[in-house]
Structure 1
């Protein structure tokens, strides 16, 4: 909503009074509500005169602020969805304030109070979006501990390049690439709020090379090679109270950020020629077979041979592999998601065959039903498949449970697995159909764009979500790329919307990586999807298979070769290992079980797990691989472990009944992967699956602690089980030993036996057994995969 206003100085002056005026009613209306609440409890009329005055003044000020805001929007180059939300919430606040005064004057107390609350809510919403427009989209998130803040000071690029700044050495190609990434990040977080397509103050935009070099209405902002003569450096180094200082509001640039900008200009403001894509690291698309290092007596698995080179390079010594019990528990949980029984552990430890670990892995991979029931959790998360939730009641969402379970059970080759997801059968169509959200949604969430985003993220390790709204400043991808890919899934050509605003432009139809093939633009949707599937599963699409092997590695090892696993353009800690695994995967018939076998029988997998005090270190660019990252059981693994060791947590079999009867017969108990989500599983980390989830945090949190302490689901299962164990084991000695064997795979230590017997009592009580099981289930040896 805009009004026409000439750029006469008076209009500009009045427009800029908008922030001054709008802050006045914010304070008065909020204070009026506070005083009104106080008057409810005090039952006094002594505050009424003050409240009435604040309401009148606040309402008049809100009217003035709304009017001046409409003038301001025409003077300061504002645009985008945020402006619209701010405008309409401000106008709504004005209307609510007027209605509040009318209700007060008419004596309708309940209506007046309700409207006053809504008015303050409107003020808050309008104020929040006003702050985002004034201070930038990260105005709130940047100060939060989990906010998206650029850590320039500690970045590897910063450490590498300051040496060059002091010695005047020429930057290497890698340093130039990293410097460009840092510069783009600095500009995005500090300058885009005023100098981008959303808002262009002083006719200056800083979101592309051409526009940066062009400058603004006052001329060029930088002189390549001479930061001391560059206007941008002068502005960002002025005192904060100087009227020409930049940024004008919000946090100032740090010394390191200023130094990086100066270095960039001193180096000639390098920007890769041609497309801006080369600012970022772009992983190779084609497959690659690295030469394997020579084998030795004790290092012959291809994975170990490649890791051995990495260890030598990083001066890491090989450690002894874990013992049989630890290894057995590890592969059981990783391959079928269950604990081994005490009898299986005892037999394995007594086995003297040199290849018994390989034989164990083969046996577990042959347990097709257990394998499917475990790995369906991984794929449910990634493919956004769930058993209840948004869209199922209205028919705007379709599950793929039967197809997915059957595919895992028969170990469908991954190329066919992908083919049937993209060019779907009726049973597998739910993935690309996405969720038809009820009501009005933004353009980036229409089902065709969901399909583009999900296929890119899950199958190609590529984030298109930013580029679905505007040209991404964290990757190479443009808005036109995202719409062209979304159009492959669309029955009609989509109009490009930038920040949910129609542009009048139409995108074509195009695969993200043009090297893979050209879609038949005018073909029916069904044919286009067949073509897309054929293009993506080609052996020459190394991206698809690197993404898959990296996900499986991350699932088994606690950390991907590339992290995050959805950012496959990031640098792997071992390019050779990633490339070899992907190449070998294709050569072995796209067999995920063979991939799992290769990994889990390697010496690398069998190394002791590595504990990490700070989870951020695992994702840091400086990460050095030393072995499996110690991780917590997933929600489903934990529930199944408690069910097997003590008593089934779940009784619900509704999902099991959805499966074919031949499959139902092989399910011994309701696995947590096959039950609907509930507060217990949510607290332990199971996502709602309305968005793609390709990784779960392994960190404990307060919600988990509360659920394990007071949660109904867990405590009821413990109580039922305690009653059964009490009836079966009248002796505390036998009960404690059996419980330790089933839960931890070993006998209790002498001190543990003494403490456990005190907990359950000489004659075991239900309460005592519950307490002991609860204590064991919280023990690190039970909760962690070592």
Structure 2
């Protein structure tokens, strides 16, 4: 703007941190008070809530303007700032919309919009709170909040005292190539742990970045900060030696550098600031092995035979942990039905299972479930639709810029296609399977990191190889060692013509090479046609030598069955697993068993640890902490599809057959094999499924949040679809069963696979009466469906 450096704009911009906390506090307080007015909108709290809303929404708009001024005048840039700004403007827009809705309800007495007003209030509050968190990450570092949590106490750190300058000295004072590599590795470590918060791609202060050789020596807005061979005149050395309260001290936030760190940086510059070109610098990140490895199984002990249990027992012995108790038939049957086919067992099936006297009945029933091919395919379609970004409607389909792979995917699951073939057909597709690597052709201007070739590289990397290339698609990654040129070389395999490398959306003039991410897997002919490059990739990527690919799928299936991966997050396979031996053994066993996903599921499901008691966690963050201890299965909430199908089974169909976007039975001549209701995995996304956790599949989604959310609570409490289903089902049950007691007992049998206890039966009879009307039955249904016993897989 014209007055960009005018003192008043600078002053007002720096009021942003003060003003931004004001709307957060006001709107959070207003949202909390609003909860107490549910059922009584004209509460005595209403005037106070209105004052908080007006002040919070208006001040959020002011905060957005001041934040914009702050970024312009203080010359702060970076990815984290861009996210903060974007969400800030979105929050401001939410505030305007929310104020309009609030005005409709409060001043124009549109009481029919109260639900909309409350939803807008909570959404605006959450949006502003997240924006504030990103702002705090900008000023204090991205781990400012999480680093204080008790489970992060053991996060790996480096010890400056271990820096031994004397070890670098050699005859004539010249560093050997090995010493140079070690020295620059330790310098990078110091910069990463102390300087990246303000001087990397996430946040750039003073136009200075210290996360690559080129940018370190370029310097910032005041010129170079390093003069090789002259530490006394290097601005970097001057600033790190300043007193902590000095305005120019670096780092400006957090603890100052230790004497050992300062000495090492001084020594490095004195030696000419060596930074070898093209050398494999020591990584500050953990890098998992690529090659497969099959460790020798532990000896059989404690009557354990399943190999999974032998490894778990070995882990428990090392960690001095005790085995969890086993589960009863009811818990087991419900668990295995939901995990294998996504449906609840019927009371009759539970009775048959309980009366089955065969000693290996659990193994037999698991095998029979896996052979229910259509039910299996309909359930696992949800998992693969999320992973492969496959959906039935949405961005891209209107303009033919996206391709559906449902028919191919359903057929592959139903026929239990070997996983190596499955991946080969995704990477070297025909018309039926091309939708995954073709990505989405977005309308309008598309940035370089979202062109379809780069989408293919990112998605293949994430889903099939368990790595994140999104950061490296724009610049060298800050979370791994992957470089921009490597991401473009991989993306070039999916391109018709040679791609030009763009760094941070700026073309560099450099043409990309054509390579698989790991040279050990072989070469791709850069002069070949696209179809030939894809054929070569599909052959080389699925070879057994690619242990990473098979560890990735084994880890994903383990998480689906056990609630938490051997490695977390499942897209970061360089992270350390809680049992490297179990992960490696399962991956090689999977290959040796002809890449059979059903056999992998069977192996896990027949283990003692799968058939043992589950555990809840106080916070999902505990599942990804570095000191995580595996103690058994993690409890999971029913997915949106499992919940919908369960309600359809026991009450009334949630989705009509006319809502099916894919019907695997549409060619069947025998109408009797048609399913009784539309499975939720086969319908288009909608507000009900979204509220229960089904993701927007415009991006790959490899994990769903198993925690209950405010949106889910609102949908289950006030949503129209569930209300209609319960209303219809209650009317049917009212005609079928005459007694409230019979209704209570029968519904408990269908929903929870047990009879109500005396206390539950008494409460149900009081709620239903002798001859309940449909509305009473509807309320009873709703109360049971919201029980944790129904919503959680124990």
| CA separation of 1:268 and 1:497: change in aligned 2, threshold 3 A | closer
For the 8 Å contact 1:79–1:199, the answer to whether it is kept is no
Deviation at 1:652, TM superposition (A): 3.9
Alignment of 1:207-356 (within 5 A): 207-208=211-212, 220=226, 235=239, 238=242, 242-247=246-251, 252-254=253-255, 274-276=279-281, 278-356=283-361
- Partners of 1:749 and 1:262 lie apart in 2 by 69
Q: How far apart are the structure 2 equivalents of 1:169 and 1:605?
A: 54
Does structure 2 retain, via aligned residues, the 8 Å contact 1:414–1:590? yes
Closer, same or farther: CA 25–608 of 1 in aligned 2, 3 Å: closer
CA contact (8 A) 1:557 1:628 kept: yes
Q: Distance in 1 between matches of 2:727 and 2:190?
A: 56
Cα distance per residue 1:191-222 (max 9 Å; x no partner):
227997x9644xxx411368658988566499
* Distance verdict in 2 for CA 1:291–1:264, change over 3 Å: farther
Mapped contact 1:760–1:767 kept (Cα < 8 A): no
Q: Do the aligned partners of 1:656 and 1:674 also contact (CA within 8 Å) in 2?
A: yes
Asked whether the 8 Å contact 1:183–1:261 carries over to 2, the reply is no
Distance 1:736 1:691 in 2: 43
Residue 668 of structure 1 deviates from its aligned partner by: 3.2
Which of residues 711, 714, 722 is equivalent to 2:719? 711
Is residue 2:434 matched to residue 1:446?
no
Alignment of 1:122-521 (within 5 A): 139=135, 141-142=137-138, 151=147, 155=152, 184-192=192-200, 200-201=207-208, 205-208=209-212, 220=226, 235=239, 238=242, 242-247=246-251, 252-254=253-255, 274-276=279-281, 278-521=283-526
Q: Pairwise mapping of residues 23-34 of structure 1 onto structure 2 (< 5 A)?
A: none
**Mean Cα deviation higher: 229-238 or 605-614:** 229-238
- C-alpha change, 1:264 and 1:144, in structure 2 (3 Å) is closer
Q: Secondary structure at the match of 1:670?
A: coil
Checking the alignment, whether the CA contact within 8 Å between 1:177 and 1:280 is kept in structure 2 is: no
Paired residues, number = 676
SS in 2 for 1:628: coil
Q: List per-residue Cα deviations over 1:272-305 (Å, max 9, x = no partner).
A: 9832363221111111110100112521111111
Cα distance, 1:17 vs. partner?
A: 3.1
User: Matches of 2:379 and 2:355 in 1, distance apart?
Assistant: 27
Indicate if the aligned counterparts of 2:665 and 2:674 stay in contact, CA closer than 8 A.
no
Change (3 A) 1:262 1:667: farther
SS in 1 for 2:196: helix
What is the SS of the residue equivalent to 1:332? helix
Q: Distance in 1 between matches of 2:792 and 2:308?
A: 25
**Mean Cα deviation higher: 669-678 or 721-730:** 669-678
Structure 1 residue 460: Cα displacement: 0.2
Indicate which of 750, 766, 774 corresponds to 1:758.
766
Whole-angstrom CA distance in 1 between matches of 2:410 and 2:728:
30
1:541 aligns with 2:546: yes
Change (3 A) 1:195 1:632: closer
8 Å contact from structure 2 (residues 550, 587) kept in 1? yes
Say if 1:219 and 1:186 are closer, same or farther in 2 by CA, change over 3 A. closer
Structure 1 stretches of 5 or more lacking a match? 2-13, 32-61, 91-131
Note the C-alpha offset of 1:21: 4.3
Aligned pair 1:648/2:636, yes or no?
Answer: no
> Are residues 162 and 594 of structure 1, via their aligned partners in 2, closer, same or farther at CA, if it must alter by over 3 Å?
same
Matched residue SS, 1:496:
strand
Any conservation in 2 of the 1:157–1:179 contact (CA below 8 Å)?
no
Q: In the alignment, what sits opposite 2:5? A: 17
C-alpha distance in 1, partners of 2:445/2:304?
59
Question: Which of the residues 606, 619, 628 maps onto 1:601?
Answer: 606
Note if 1:576 corresponds to 2:569: no
Q: Say what the alpha-carbon RMSD is for the aligned residues.
A: 4.3
Q: Does the CA-based 8 Å contact 2:80-2:138 persist in structure 1? A: no
Maintained 8 Å contact 2:147/2:153: no
Single out whichever of 156-165 and 654-663 deviates more from structure 2.
156-165
Cα distance between partner residues in 2 of 1:338 and 1:400: 24
Q: Using the TM superposition, give the Cα deviation of residue 561 of structure 1 relative to its aligned residue in structure 2, in angstroms.
A: 0.3
> What is the distance in 2 between the residues matched to 1:79 and 1:369?
49
CA distance in 2, matches of 1:418, 1:645: 37
Q: 1:703-746 deviations in whole A, cap 9, x for unaligned?
A: 11100000011110000000000000011121111100000000
Q: Which moved more, 1:308-317 or 1:269-278?
A: 269-278
Q: Which position in structure 1 is the counterpart of 2:735? A: 727
Alignment check: 8 A CA contact 1:271 1:279 kept:
no
- Does the residue aligned with 1:279 lie in a helix, a strand or coil? coil
CA contact (8 A) 2:389 2:700 kept: yes
SS class of match (2:197):
helix
CA contact (8 A) 1:610 1:630 kept: yes
Q: Secondary structure at the match of 2:574?
A: coil
Tell me: CA distance 1:721–1:262, structure 2 relative to 1, closer, same or farther (3 Å): farther
Task: Kindly indicate whether the alpha-carbon contact (under 8 Å) linking 1:193 and 1:199 is maintained by their aligned counterparts in 2.
Answer: no
Task: Mark the CA change 1:81 to 1:633 in structure 2 (over 3 Å): closer, same or farther.
Answer: closer
Deviation (angstroms), 1:186:
4.0
How far apart are the structure 1 equivalents of 2:291 and 2:583? 13
Q: Aligned in 2, Cα 1:741/1:233: closer, same or farther, shift over 3 Å?
A: farther
TM-score by length of 2: 0.76
Unaligned runs of at least 5 residues, structure 2: 20-65, 90-130, 168-180
TM-score, normalisation: structure 1: 0.77
Which of 526, 529, 546 does residue 524 from structure 1 map onto?
A: 529
Bigger CA drift: 213-222 or 379-388? 213-222
Q: 1:585 aligns with which of 571, 587, 590?
A: 590
> What is the rounded CA distance, in whole Å, between the counterparts of 2:530 and 2:507 in structure 1?
24
Distance, in Å, in 1 between the alignment partners of 2:577 and 2:498 is: 37
Distance, in Å, in 2 between the alignment partners of 1:640 and 1:241 is: 62
1:459-510 residue CA offsets vs partner (Å, 9 max, x unmatched): 0001000001111011111111111111111111111111111111111111
